[in-house]
Amino acid sequence: MKIIGGNWKFNKELREKEKAKKFIRELERMLEKEKIGKGKVIIFPHFLVLNEVKKIAKRIKVGAQDVHWEESGSFTGAQPSAQDLKKWGIKNVLIGHSETRKYFGVTEEKVRLKLKSALKEKLFPLICIGEDIEEKERGETKKVLRKQIEEGILPSLNKNSRFLIAYEPLYAISGFAKLRGKKPKPAQIEDIKLSHNFIKETFKKRGFKVKVLYGGSCNPQNAKELLSQDFIDGLLVGSKSWDLESFLEIIKIAKEV
Ligand code: PGA
């Protein structure tokens, strides 16, 4: 089965402990019923409920939405460090999600530092890359992806580094689409194919075989088409992972394809 990630972002309900725990318990029950093994579903809760969720998750992997690059110091408002995550038993972590890049000033340099720190603590990063609509329209998709890979990722890797990539073009992410007054919809399959192949090829040239998830407006209606593509190794689901029913449907589709 391909990997299904659920990014809870800043969803209000899922920052409430009891609601988050109820969601996880029900999801666990379903994974058990469907005989879906450990590690196929990764949930990225907000830090406020990260530890609570981690305590009750069995088949579900639990990851952080971000990580700070230093262990300690004068960094008011910083995210937990890689050392904190390790202490809490959290192995998975999102790095460079476009919303952290856009809203919280995460640059390639910061992606590189976060990644370095996460890998040093043997965490398993899911690094998000992707172009914005203007860049796509200017025909710069490959240029943007190459820059993100060469400046933000490669310098922090060594030959044993383990990580995943998520291709998430910004124009397809539902939150950004709504800001532009557009109805959220995923990227075209042809565009996803070009980008995924380019990403895999770029890493291959440097000796890394990578899995690339797709993210951006995934839902139960489009999951089958997306998951049937051999160049898509899984999905990173945002807003549709906030709704248990939709998320369960996507997981069932992943199991079937
Ligand atoms: P979305 O978000 O599914 O709401 O478009 C995806 C993501 O940002 O990871």
pLDDT of residue 44: 98
Lowest mean pLDDT among 20-29, 60-69, 176-185: 176-185
Work out which ligand 1 atom sits closest to the CA atom of 216.
5
Q: What are phi and psi of 7, to 5 degrees?
A: -100, 105
Q: What is the pLDDT of residues 210-228, one digit of tens each?
A: 999 999 999 999 999 999 9
Q: What is the band of 244 on the pLDDT scale with cuts at 50, 70, 90? A: very high
- Check 68, 97, 131, 196 and give the catalytic one: 97
Using the 8-state DSSP alphabet, how is residue 153 labeled?
A: I
Q: How wide is the angle at C-alpha 152 spanned by C-alphas 147 and 157, nearest 5°?
A: 120
The reply to whether ligand 1 has any atom less than 6 angstroms from the CB of 168 is: yes
- Cα 112 from Cα 224, distance rounded (Å): 34
Known catalytic membership, residue 52 = no
Work out which ligand 1 atom sits closest to the CA atom of 237.
3
Q: What is the pLDDT of residues 161-200, one digit of tens each?
A: 999 999 999 999 999 999 999 999 999 999 999 999 999 9
Average pLDDT over residues 231-243: 98
CB 233 within 8 A of CB 211: yes
Average pLDDT over residues 70-76: 98
pLDDT of residue 148: 98
Side-chain-side CA neighbours of 38 within 13 Å: the count stands at: 5
CB 24 within 8 A of CB 7: no
CB 9 within 8 A of CB 99: yes
Average pLDDT over residues 111-136: 98
CB 172 within 8 A of CB 141: no
Average pLDDT over residues 132-159: 97
DSSP bridge pairs for 236: 5, 215
Instruction: Select from 129, 214, 122, 133 the least CA-distant residue to 162.
Output: 122
Q: What is the pLDDT of residues 5-18, one digit of tens each?
A: 999 999 999 999 99
Known catalytic membership, residue 97 = yes
Instruction: Select from 152, 89, 96, 150 the least CA-distant residue to 122.
Output: 89
